[in-house]
Structure 1
Amino acid sequence: MHTSIPGGSVFRTHGGGVAAECSGVAEGDDPDTLDVVEETRPVRSTKWIFIEGIAVEIPLPVDITAFDPDSAPRLSERTRTFSVYCVDTYYSANFLGFIDVSATDPMLDPRPRITNLYNGLQLEDLAVYENAVVDRWGGLVVRNPAWLAINGAAWRTQRSNVEYWRGWELALIARPTRLEFLVDFVPDPDRPSEPFSGVVPCVETNDEFAVSEVVEFPQRPSDLADFAEPGSNRACEWTPPGPGEATITARQIFAVTFWASGAVEAQPDYVWLSEPTTFRVGELAAVNVNE
């Protein structure tokens, strides 16, 4: 393909800038008289040719869950090496040396492709875990702790589609780093209680939660109490204070890394939300029956 070389690029300024001339030998000159040709009839041209050498390919990690961006070189430190020729590449006399071009040179800079990569980043849909009491009683239960979790498949490292552009292999790698829940509780006006609207923290990357093929993540603990004080008494848990409606939204935060043929650059965190899920909150009445 043909393209214009942007201003500020090494390819545009090398050798003296736009319209600068170089000396070479035209293809077709007699090799037997090459020394004479170079001395008496050199070719002056504004045709500069840059050919990239063979680069060591660094494939995308097969196991992206083990990907560690801290061990990869920064994109800003990466260079690409090109051979420089004048007129053509037919004779060695046309070779003018090598140049190292920064990965962020305006001609090679892959970062403008990031927006396109985001369009190819299809993250797993989030779904709020439905506690067993919802199926049993038709909703959450007053003073019964609700376990806040998501579908297990969503808590994993994911990546965008791969794009190939100007010698780069490009992708975005998104690693989950935090999970929290937005809880909005509206009391039943006929049976008023304390309203609640806030964020319930759940998982940080340094928390010790087992990641596996599970229905919900994090898994519901075996020591979750049957009754508790209203509010959030520990991570991933919220207890309704009274009858009403609770709307819960899962919020997952990803650390995003831009991958360019083995070099990386950190991107702003990416926030991924579930659809809000509304649960009715009711009371259970204990009835003693004497036979």
Structure 2
Amino acid sequence: MRLTSVLVAAAALGLSSASVAHAGPDDGGGPPLIPGARQVHIRNSSGGLGVYTSIPSGSTFRTHGGGAAAECTGVAAGDDPDTLDIVEDQRPIRSTKWIFIEGVAVVIPIPVDLDVYDPSSGPSLDDTVRTFSVYCADTFFSSNFKGFIDVAATDPMLDPRTQLTDLYNGLELEALAVYENKVVGEWGGLVVRNPAWLAINGSAWRTQTSNAQYYRGWELYLITQPVGLDFTVDFVPDPDRPSPPFSGVVPCISTDDDFPVGETIEFPQRPSDLADFAEPGSNRACEWTPPGPGEVTITARQTFAVTFWASGSVEPQPDYVWTSEPVTFRVGELVAVNVNE
């Protein structure tokens, strides 16, 4: 993917005034040497250019032309020292001052409908390049233009992955809350052998993003898409009325499941066919039945697929697991009382 279109050479010629050449050490009458550090001009988020002279090792900007000390050839304004009786507009020079100027940035907005966003449709970050014009010494004369180069998005000078830590620090996912079954409000806790439906607040099951980061021409996000949900369940029986303890993970949602997503209080929505009584343990996805009196602590765990989005280019990241605060419920027995006389 080509992230930027090129900036034509003629349009860049006015970016700086003409350099005044200063001859370096005499090297046998050849063109004078104009020393100088390499410069990289990178588009920022507002379309302007930031100038960088500190270039990391391994970068194309450092090695282009034959290495950090390589010379380029061009022209500069001034009198030719070999013909002092003639005033000339320009004369040949050599220089170590390579100038790289990024072209016009193409703005690629983050997808509006993230719930249907398919990261596999985006170009890979590894296949993305950014285009720069190359100049020698200055940009005033067309003779100093040395062509265009495509620089990999993962070049050490441009690599947006250096911002991943900040992106994760700016990731504020909606808090998970364990769904409270109706019986908790009616009886003060869960009920022995009455299946408890395990769910979360419905608003948390959605695609979410990190805060944006802007870095060397990139607009960066983490896009998190929910792909899995399970619950850790730890049941401690009442020692006075012993029953089998339980400690384990109850699976609920996986990427192969087709649960409808909508505006519901809980997700997944409690099914209408959930039985009033069942065998202890987990008899179906998202369900757990208490075996006896005691206390149970339930924690929701939501798994997100994470995509690193860099101005339209993407790179998958490891899955991210988001957990709720653990919630503890008392488990009791309902006692049937005959009120007939």
Same fold (TM over 0.5): yes
- 1:21: how far off? 1.1
Task: Note the residue ranges of structure 1 that are not aligned, 5 or more in a row.
Answer: 31-35
Shift >4 Å, 4+ stretches: 27-30
> Pairwise CA RMSD of aligned residues?
1.5
The one-letter amino acid of 2:102's match is E
- Aligned-residue offset at 1:205: 2.5
Query: TM-score of the superposition, structure 1-length normalised?
Result: 0.94
**Unaligned 5+ runs, structure 2:** 1-50, 81-87
| Range that drifts further, 13-22 or 250-259 | 13-22
How is 1:62-73 mapped onto 2 (pairs within 5 angstroms)? 62-73=112-123
Amino acid at match of 2:104: I
Amino acid at match of 1:53: G
Aligned match of 2:162: 112
Secondary structure in 1 matching 2:240: coil
Structure showing greater Rg? 2
2:207 corresponds in structure 1 to: 157
Distance 1:123 1:213 in 2: 18
Residues 1:244 and 2:244 aligned together: no
Match of 1:268 among 297, 302, 318: 318
Structure 1 residue 55: Cα displacement: 3.6
Counterpart residue number, 1:121 = 171
What is the rounded CA distance, in whole Å, between the counterparts of 1:200 and 1:27 in structure 2? 77
Shift in Å at residue 264 of structure 1? 0.4
For the structure 1 residues 68 and 29, does the alpha-carbon distance in structure 2 shift closer, same or farther, using more than 3 Å as the test? farther
Give the structure 1 partner of residue 144 of structure 2: 94
Amino acid at match of 2:329: F
Aligned-pair CA distance for 1:37 = 6.6
- Identity of counterpart residues, as a percentage? 76
Which string of whole-angstrom CA distances, capped at 9 and with x for unpartnered residues, describes residues 86-108 of structure 1? 01111111100111111111101
- In the alignment, which residue of structure 2 is the partner of 1:77? 127
What's the CA shift string for 1:96-147, capped at 9, x where partnerless? 0111111111101110100000111100000000000000000000000000
Q: For residues 134 and 28 of structure 1, what CA distance do their matches in structure 2 show?
A: 89
Q: Deviations over 1:140-178 (max 9, x none)?
A: 000000000000110000000111110111110000000
**Structure 2 matches for 1:135-174, cutoff 5 A?**
135-174=185-224
Residue aligning to 1:217: 267
Cα distance in 1, alignment partners of residues 281 and 270 from structure 2? 18
Per the alignment, residue 16 of structure 1 pairs with 66
Q: Distance in 2 between matches of 1:120 and 1:212?
A: 27
Shift in alpha-carbon separation, 1:27–1:247, aligned structure 2, 3 A: farther
Name the CA shift for 1:173/1:28 in 2 (closer, same or farther; >3 Å): farther
After TM superposition, the score normalised by the length of structure 2 is 0.81
- Cα pair 2:78 2:89 within 8 Å, conserved: no
Counterpart AA for 1:98? F
Contact 1:193–1:242 (Cα < 8 Å) also in 2: yes
